[in-house]
Amino acid sequence: MQLLNVGFGNTVSVNRVVAVINTGSSPARKLKELAKTNGKLIDVTEGRRTRSILVMDSDHVILSSIQPDTISQRMLALQTDYHLADYAAQLKKGREDEL
């Protein structure tokens, strides 16, 4: 399981993130209010301005003070690291098979 830093020491499972959206749109605000009404809103902004909203596969909505682009880059870096480690393991296994 890979954990994604969403600010102030808070992490979420990267595999459970459905979307990372900007807070500027009306649908984003409605999503936030709906999650709050349903008790599925998690605020990890530590009192700072909300810059991104993460939608999880459990219907939870997480408010973060990290820019959406930064979160996307962190997700991409985690996926790249995972694929590189998998590739390295395959190469190592291939070399062991040759011996």
Tell me, letter by letter, the H, E, C secondary structure of the chain.
CCEEEEECCEEEEHHHEEEEEECCCHHHHHHHHHHHHHCCEEECCCCCCCCEEEEECCCCEEEECCCHHHHHHHHHHHHHHHHHHHHHHHHHHHHHHHC
Task: Report the mean per-residue pLDDT for the chain.
Answer: 90
Mean pLDDT of 17-43: 97
pLDDT value of residue 10: 97
Rounded to two decimals, what is the model's pTM? 0.82
pLDDT at 98: 53
Would you place residue 88 in the very low, low, confident or very high pLDDT band (cuts 50, 70, 90)? confident
